[in-house]
Amino acid sequence: MQENSFKFFTLNYWRSIDKKILICFLTLFFLGLFFSFSSTSSLAGERLNKDYYFFFTKHLIFTILAISIMMIISFIRTEVLIKLVIPAFVVSFIFLAIVPIVGVEAKGARRWLNLYFFNLQPVEILKPLFILMTVKILTYKNFQNYHIKYFLSFILLSCVIILLIDQPDLGQSILLTSSWIATVFVSGVSLIYIGIFLTIFLILFSSLLFFLPEKFGYIINRLISFFDPSQGDKFQSSSALDAIKLGGLTGQGMGEGILKESVPEAHTDYVIAVISEEYGSLVSIIIITIFLYIAFRIIKSCFNQDNEFIKISLSGLASLLIFQTFIHAGVNTNLLPTTGMTLPFLSYGGSSLMSSAILAGLILNYTKNKTYLYD
């Protein structure tokens, strides 16, 4: 009986899940594994004097872990998952909040928690949960006809942003803010509110720069070097551009890239440039198109959903995915000022992979075709 129900459940799962999205996610995970091999082997072997497979092995373990997490999340019944949102968000928020106190500092920013077996970046876990939490507030029954729900979600955003700015982590703040705007926009807010919000945001941002120049001066430097390429330290962005140039459309060939050797964190923050250098910019465009296709599938699927929460969540999660991808790709191609942003699924790093796994699991879960379930 037990066996029978499990069989039924699995079959049901397989019939209800959006297989195209699943295949896309798995493809991205495997591509990430493949690229991490070429982008980190020289780092491990030549710079850190470790086994050439050191980072690759680590990444492999994380990928397996991430795929399992993705599958587990997509297995859980949607109702349960919706109920879990608040506790999960609270836990990850606490993690984020204790970073300034017990966090590990690396390269000028305090963003990580040391969890013995790996360093966790809580914001990565928080990101998808934050979107869900926002949607939860926006769809909360008692607030249905009040504008106070927007204000509440704005307060939520501010709490997270303040913690992020303190780290400092500008890229994630901008990502969360833009995803929040997209979510609120989809939920049907009047466009006037968004206009008001953007004005407030700009005022707050510039006053931050103005009043705390010693902490946020680096932002000004980056902006200066972005708008006037002859000034400021543009080593990373110009190296990335050189790498893409060298790669051309078809690339230099596997393992032939030099960017990963000259730029620190190339395997996390400059993945697109590394891929373009070795495999050509066409491959990069194809990879980014996979992300766009996923977003397309998600948005197509959310039209078929009945639950308000799921609908808005799906749009929000899709925005998160696309914005993060675009920030990463934009920094790589000098469309945006320099900021460290990982590329979901493809960048090296445990936290980034976990974040991608949670995001993917949630998307798979929410895009399930509900007609197959429970009959």
Partner 1 sequence: MKKKSGKNKTTNQRSFYFEDYLETNKKSKNFKKHNNFEDRNYLLFFFFFSLITIFSIKIAYISLSQKEILGFNNQNSKFNLLRRDIVDRNGIIISRNINAYHAAVDPKLVKDKKNFLIKLRLIFPNLPIEEIRQKLNGKKYFRIKTRITQNEKQKLWSLGEKAIKFEPFQARMYTHGDLFSHVIGQVDYDNFGISGLEKYFDKELKSKNLKDTPLELTLDSNIQYIINKELSEAIKTFDASGAAALLMNVNNGDILSLVSLPNFNINQRKTITDKNYINKITKGVYELGSIFKTFTVALALERNIVRKDTVIENIPRKLKCSIHEITDMKEHPSNLSTEEILIRSSNVGSVILAQKIGEDVFKKFIKNTNLTKVPDIELEEVGAPHEIKWNKCKIETVSFGHGITTTPLQATTLYASLTNGGNFVTPSLIKERNKIETKKIISNETSREISSILRQVVSNENGTASLADIDGYYVGGKTGTAESYGNNKQRINSFISVFPTKKPNYSLFVMLENPKLNKDLIYNYRGIKTKAPYNTSGWNSVYVAGKIIEKIGPILAINNKDFLNQYVVEKFN
Cα(200)–Cα(164) distance, rounded to whole angstroms?
18
Segment interacting with partner 1 (CB under 8 A) among 93-101, 198-206, 286-294, 340-348: 286-294
| C-alpha to C-alpha distances, 107 to 89, 168, 186, 243, 355, nearest whole angstrom | 28, 11, 37, 23, 22
Here the tokens at position 97 are 């909040």
Angle made by CA atoms 272, 132, 105, in degrees to the nearest 5: 55
**Residue placing its CB nearer to partner 1 in the complex, 4 or 230:** 230
Residues 239-268 that bind partner 1 (CB under 8 A): 241-242, 244-249, 258, 262, 264
Q: How far apart are the first and last CA of the chain?
A: 17
**Residue placing its CB nearer to partner 1 in the complex, 66 or 244:** 244
> Phi-psi bin for 17: left (phi > 0), alpha (psi -120 to 50), beta?
beta
Q: Is 247 helix (H, G, I), strand (E, B) or coil?
A: helix
Q: Which of 207, 289, 304, 369 binds partner 1 (CB under 8 A)?
A: 289
Segment interacting with partner 1 (CB under 8 A) among 150-158, 200-208, 287-295, 353-361: 287-295
Tell whether the torsion through CA atoms of 14, 20, 26 and 29 is positive or negative: negative
**Residue placing its CB nearer to partner 1 in the complex, 168 or 264:** 264
**Residue placing its CB nearer to partner 1 in the complex, 220 or 335:** 335
CB of 343 to partner 1, least distance (A): 12
Residues 25-54 that bind partner 1 (CB under 8 A): 47
Q: Are 219 and 165 a contacting pair, CB within 8 Å?
A: no
Residues 92-111 that bind partner 1 (CB under 8 A): 105-108
The answer to whether 90 contacts partner 1 (rule: CB under 8 A) is no
Q: Which of 19, 335, 369, 371 binds partner 1 (CB under 8 A)?
A: 335
The answer to whether 185 contacts partner 1 (rule: CB under 8 A) is yes
Strands 104-106 and 119-120, bridge-based pairing:
unpaired
**Residue placing its CB nearer to partner 1 in the complex, 59 or 234:** 234
**Residue placing its CB nearer to partner 1 in the complex, 3 or 214:** 214
**Residue placing its CB nearer to partner 1 in the complex, 48 or 220:** 48
CB of 300 to partner 1, least distance (A): 9
Residues counted in the chain: 375
The answer to whether 209 contacts partner 1 (rule: CB under 8 A) is no
Alpha helices, DSSP H only, in the chain?
2-16, 19-42, 54-75, 78-102, 122-138, 148-166, 170-186, 191-211, 213-227, 235-247, 259-262, 266-269, 271-279, 281-302, 308-332, 350-366
Q: Are 29 and 17 a contacting pair, CB within 8 Å?
A: no
Segment interacting with partner 1 (CB under 8 A) among 15-23, 78-86, 326-334, 357-365: 326-334
Q: Which of 12, 119, 238, 252 binds partner 1 (CB under 8 A)?
A: 238
| C-alpha to C-alpha distances, 141 to 95, 157, 367, nearest whole angstrom | 29, 20, 23
The answer to whether 135 contacts partner 1 (rule: CB under 8 A) is no
Q: Is 110 helix (H, G, I), strand (E, B) or coil?
A: strand
Q: Which of 188, 211, 214, 375 binds partner 1 (CB under 8 A)?
A: 188
The answer to whether 291 contacts partner 1 (rule: CB under 8 A) is yes
Interface contacts to partner 1, rule CB under 8 A: 47, 105-108, 182, 185-186, 188, 230, 238, 241-242, 244-249, 258, 262, 264, 272, 276, 280-281, 284-285, 288-289, 291-292, 295-296, 299, 302-303, 311, 315, 318-319, 322-323, 326, 329-330, 333, 335
